[in-house]
Structure 1
Amino acid sequence: MKSKKKIEVFPIVNGLIFIILSLLIIIPMWKVLVDSFDLKTAYGMKLWPEEFGLAGYISVFKNPTLSHPLMISVITTIAGTIIALILSTFGAYVLIQWDMPGRNLFANLLLFTMIFQGGMIPTYLVLKSLHLTNTIWVVILFPALNVYNLVLMRNFFEGIPASLFESATLDGCTPMQTFIRIVLPMSKAALASIGLMFAVTYWNDYTHYKLYITDSNLYNFQMKLRSIIMGSDLPQANGGATENTVKNAAIIVIIIPFMIVYPFLQKYFVKGVNIGAVKE
């Protein structure tokens, strides 16, 4: 008798659902991409630009009203990510020092802030008393210490074999030398994954600019993009580009960097989030 193959329903339904979800994401992005290259003002869904041109992107990078916020986004993302990684790695390394007095107290205080927060108005008053409001440092320093990412980093450090720390101590390494020569080289996956999360946070930051900055010269590209989409601050079109072309080009510029970076960091992202990847 011929064996009958069983048709599994779940993989088929699962595949169809993911195809539909993928189309719901890809189709709007494709429309924005096509419109960013189309120099005509016609609205509607098009598969290809009717009149291809790069004037929209040239306007984004050459127009000071757009290039200046873009540069602020780049600077705050790079500086903020570096500072955030330094704080998270040093904080996590301190929390794995089992013989340090008060280690549990510091860990509990940090975890307490994940559950209970001061609130918007007290936070604003504290930042104002520190003279950080309406400065670029408020959007760099304030998101830099993320307790969730610090705990992830601490858990990753705890997965490093204790024998390596003991060997480094026997070889005469100080705690800082152990951190630089042992811990950091073995934590590339965690640094890449947590660094990516910090970079996305800084790049997409909108709330902190809205709450703590009133000087429009310090606005990042997200704030500028919102005003463009809302129609309150339409950019000037150059080189034959229309306002709609420049608007869509600005949207592509804001999303394309991490679409390019993420595939290269995806393997580190998966390894870094899966705590305990380093085994003794």
Structure 2
Amino acid sequence: MSDSTTLVYKKKKKKFKIFPLVNAIFFIIVACLIMIPIYRVIISSIDANTSYNFVWLPSKFTWGGYTAVLTRSSLYTPFLISVVTTIIGTFVGLLVVTLGGYVLIQWEMPGRNFFAYMLLFTMIFDGGMIPKYLVIKQLGLMNTLWAVILPMSINVYNLVLMRNFFEGIPESLFEAAQIDGCSPMGIFFKIVLPLSKAALASIGLMFAVSFWNDYTNFKLYITKNKLFNFQIQLRNMVIDSDIPVDDAVNQETIGNAATIIAILPFMIIYPFCQKYFVQGVNVGAVKE
């Protein structure tokens, strides 16, 4: 056997590695642990004889749980409030973190390190619930949607992620734009933002999920029933058994149907954002 033939044979003969197999098995187990509870809730939401036991298929199929929730007119306004809060909150949050991140990559700015350390300090030491409540009250934001939107929009963790992504943009692009006479804000809108679609999509999705699922801030700062969001109203209806129950469906079925309805919007949206989300997971990981 010639040397060239031996070399080709060695290249084709791959050494078996145990780590990829163990890694695949581990993540399959994790995926099952995540999907089994979701599957149980889905099955229970269409089963008229729902019990606390796990079943693979519904014993008595019904859409009664979804019908009972979706036909409640009292949920329409809370649903609209959740949509408005999510859209406006995501926009404001992205505006804050993009502008803040862009400011923090200006190396010539006096006090840049001071402001960066002050922001990081707030990630370690938080004022707490009562000081936040007093600040919101003193600002006159109680019983307004801004009491929910503004505190959640100022997210230092997302700001740091965005700053790290901006630092990964080649400096040669900034220098070329400055030579062409582009202003700092012109660089931001014409160069930085168009190159940050992955980061904007991933961080925007984080903001949107947080606003959509928000319960605590509405419970703390909102006391008027007409300003309750979808999550608050669903909880009140399910826990307080406010939804009428007939022979075709029980309260447990309605509760599971309400859970699926609450998470359904982002189950639909996520596949369209997945490619950007996967790219944005490693924001700032690659630098020039």
- TM above 0.5, one fold? yes
How far apart are the structure 1 equivalents of 2:24 and 2:117? Answer: 44
SS of the equivalent of 1:131 reads coil
Assess, with a 3 A threshold, how the Cα gap between structure 1 residues 60 and 238 changes in structure 2: closer, same or farther.
farther
CA distance in 2 between partners of 1:22 and 1:109 (Å): 38
1:255 to 259, 263, 269: 263
Unaligned runs of 5+ in 1: none
Deviations 1:108-140 (A, max 9, x none): 221221122222211111110001122211111
Q: TM-score, normalised by structure 2?
A: 0.83
Count of matched residue pairs? 274
Counterpart selection for 1:77 from 74, 86, 89: 86
Aligned pair 1:66/2:42, yes or no? no
1:147-172 C-alpha deviation (Å, 9 max, x unpaired): 11101111111111111111111212
- The TM-score normalised by the length of structure 1 is 0.85
CA shift for structure 1 position 53? 4.1
Distance 1:13 1:109, change over 3 A: closer
Q: Distance in 2 between matches of 1:276 and 1:6?
A: 34
Match for 2:174 among 142, 165, 168? Answer: 165
Kept in 1: contact 2:46–2:65 (CA 8 A): yes
Q: What is the identity percentage for the equivalent residue pairs of Structure 1 and Structure 2?
A: 58
Aligned CA distance change for structure 1 residues 182 and 249 (closer, same or farther; 3 Å): same
Structure 1 position 248, deviation (Å): 1.6
Pairing partner for 2:278 from 227, 250, 270: 270
* CA distance, structure 2, for counterparts of residue 102 and residue 214 of structure 1: 41
1:152 aligns with 2:156: no
Task: Give the unaligned 5+ runs of structure 2.
Answer: 1-13
The reply to whether residue 188 of structure 1 matches residue 197 of structure 2 is: yes
Aligned-partner residue type, residue 235 of structure 1 = I
Q: Tell me which structure has the larger Cα radius of gyration.
A: 2
Alignment RMSD (CA, Å): 2.7
The 4+ residue runs of structure 1 with deviation greater than 6 A are: 5-9
Residue correspondence of structure 1 range 29-44 to structure 2 within 5 A = 29-38=38-47, 40-43=48-51, 44=53
Query: Which one-letter code corresponds to 1:234 in the other structure?
Result: D
Q: For 2:176 and 2:94, locate their aligned partners in 1 and report how far apart those are by CA, in whole Å.
A: 26
Give, as a single letter, the amino acid of the residue that structure 1 aligns with 2:183: T
